[in-house]
Structure 1
Amino acid sequence: MTSLPPIEHVLSSTADPNSPLAQALAILFEPTPTLFSELVPGLVSHIASRSTPITSYSELIDASLDVIATWDDDLKAQFIAGHPRIGEVKGLSHLSAKEQAATATPPEVLARLAHLNACYEHVYPGLRYITFVNGRSRAAIKDEMEGVLGVEPSLSAGQPSASSIAVVQTGTKEWKDELERAVVDIGKIAQSRLKALGST
């Protein structure tokens, strides 16, 4: 069973990758290189400079998002790319596997999601599709991704071809909006994980 260390241990942590803070953030977000190299030290500095203390994990997640908001687009994109693709079934953290309901998904939906991920990453260079699943099935997420991409609902594992969909140029408003939406959803995922762990 995954569990979080006591919040008081977390708040007094150093930026060491093995610190209680780093381990807690790895559970709430995902254990990504960017989390350990950027978010953990950034959050240590943020906690030290606050005029009001953090008293809960929920506030710690909000503070993490405040730190992420100061990053440039490339760093934010690296951070969200650390999350697993929708529909992946291997190499998932315990909480990701639970959130994505791996055992309940027909293989044709998984194949469709793999194709939609490829299409999305073609359309939005450098980004990965992130969404707050919130108990929805992968089939529902398939429908959502098709809507985002503007493609017809289907269970085809190869249509339309990714190259047939127009690319959104990196750094444009549309690209930045999609990046920011993903960051917001990562925050929602973290708060949902917190609730699932029975912590505050």
Structure 2
Amino acid sequence: MSNLPSLADIQTSVSSPDSPLAAALSILFEHSPILVSKLEPQLSEIFDKSPSSSSPLSSYEELIDLSLAEITQWDIPAQSEFISGHPRIGESSNLSKLSAKEQGAQGVKPTPPEVLKRLEHLNAAYEVKYPGLRYITFVNGRSRAAIAEEMEGVLGWEHSLGPDQPSLDTVQPVEKSNEAWLSELKRAVGDVGKIAKSRLGSLGVV
């Protein structure tokens, strides 16, 4: 049974930090202050302006698409804050039930400690290389070990290095105006959308 508010309530409720729309956004995208302070009011205004005889939304997937259309128009710091609402890959504490399921934290076979340590180092290295960003990827059932290899590829590192190698002081930051930095931001926002749509299945929404 879905924990999402009904589409009718999402589109007709008064804008507030505790509105059904805010609740839906927090479930789909992970709770983040900017969802409540910026995205929720923007979407509420869109719904308020729509003709009473028509509804801008006929599905939760359309809510996700509409949300992403708004987010991609935000300035760079706001988009960066948005993706930082998602947990880091490999985190095992303070995860929502959906994030834990997506990251395999509740799997039958636990992730080896060396893989978790490697992911911790890779997250730190990524955040040095791309200041202001957090590594986001649509896990889609893959193991944390597979994600570690993906992150190594993004960083341009060899596979099967020691858990904390290379050292962080060898990582060169990328300027925020750099095309590579902006490309990573765009990819991360897009993957958050993929994660949100995947969650609909977990919530029993078709």
Structure 2 contact 34–82 (Cα < 8 Å) conserved = yes
TM-score when scaled to structure 1? 0.95
Asked whether the equivalents of residues 108 and 155 of structure 1 are also in contact (C-alpha less than 8 Å), the reply is: no
Structure 2 counterpart of 1:146, one-letter code: E
| CA displacement at 1:49 relative to structure 2 | 4.1
1:69 Cα shift?
1.2
* 1:7-86 alignment runs, 5 A limit: 7-49=7-49, 53-86=56-89
Range moving further from structure 2, 175-184 or 101-110: 101-110
Which amino acid in 2 is paired with 1:60?
A: L
Aligned residue identity for 2:137: T
1:92 aligns with 2:98: no
Question: 1:35 corresponds to which letter in structure 2?
Answer: L
Unaligned runs of 5+ in 2: none
Give the conservation status (yes or no) of the 8 Å contact 1:117–1:128.
Answer: yes
Q: Distance in 2 between matches of 1:87 and 1:155?
A: 17
Q: TM-score of the superposition, structure 2-length normalised?
A: 0.92
Matched, 1:111 2:91: no
Structure 1 range deviating more: 3-12 or 130-139: 3-12
- Long gaps (5+) in structure 1: none
Query: Equivalent of 2:104, from 95, 101, 106?
Result: 101
What CA RMSD, in Å, does the superposition of the two structures yield over aligned residues? 1.5
C-alpha displacement at 1:70, in angstroms?
1.2
CA shift, 1:173, in A, is 1.2
1:138 to 141, 144, 152: 144
Greater alpha carbon shift after TM alignment, 56-65 vs 1-10: 1-10
- Tell me the CA shift for residue 15 of structure 1: 2.2
